[in-house]
Amino acid sequence: MHGTISCSVDSCSYNQEGVCNASILNIGGSGAQITEATSCETYLKQSEYSNLAQTVRRGHTDTIFCSVDTCAYHDKQHCTLKEIEVGCLKDVDDYTETDCLSFERE
Ligand code: SF4
């Protein structure tokens, strides 16, 4: 069980006032050397899907799967941190533009 995942990607269906509502997260970016090479593959574009995911108020994420094997917090395809921060500095149109801001190069 993980804690609250803060997320600034407000165009995502799972984002509810800066908190991720997805029960399972998939963070991608195998071999990443920089934060920008990581991404949240769970991102669901709200304008194409719906904001149905926001109707369930969860406020926590159960599992964080992660393929960023170059991160200090990576262990056996999972993240060992209780909480991570997901975001992006620009407007997000596609999941590849999201980043795991908690990434720490090992
Ligand atoms: S902190 Fe590291 S191990 Fe955890 S989700 Fe982000 S990139 Fe993956």
Examine the pLDDT at 46 and tell me if it is beyond 90: no
For the chain, the average pLDDT equals 89
Does ligand 1 lie within 6 Å of residue 25's CB atom? Answer: no
Examine the pLDDT at 91 and tell me if it is beyond 80: no
Q: What's the whole-number mean pLDDT along residues 43-59? A: 72
User: Rounded to the nearest whole angstrom, what is the distance from the C-alpha of residue 92 to the centroid of ligand 1?
Assistant: 19
- Per-residue pLDDT tens over the stretch 28-45: 999 999 999 999 999 998
DSSP states of the chain: -----EE--TTBTTEETTEE--SEEEEE-TT-SSGGG-EETT--BTTTS-SGGGSS-----SEEEE--TTBTTEETTEE--S--EEE-SS--SSGGG-EETT--B-
| pLDDT the model gives residue 80 | 96
> pTM for this structure?
0.90
User: Rounded to the nearest whole angstrom, what is the distance from the C-alpha of residue 53 to the centroid of ligand 1?
Assistant: 23
| pLDDT the model gives residue 67 | 98
Q: Tell me the domain boundaries of the chain.
A: 6-100
- Per-residue pLDDT tens over the stretch 2-31: 778 999 998 998 998 899 989 899 999 999
Does ligand 1 lie within 6 Å of residue 92's CB atom? Answer: no
User: Rounded to the nearest whole angstrom, what is the distance from the C-alpha of residue 68 to the centroid of ligand 1?
Assistant: 6
pLDDT tier, 55 (very low <50, low <70, confident <90, very high otherwise): low
Dmax (CA) of the chain: 37
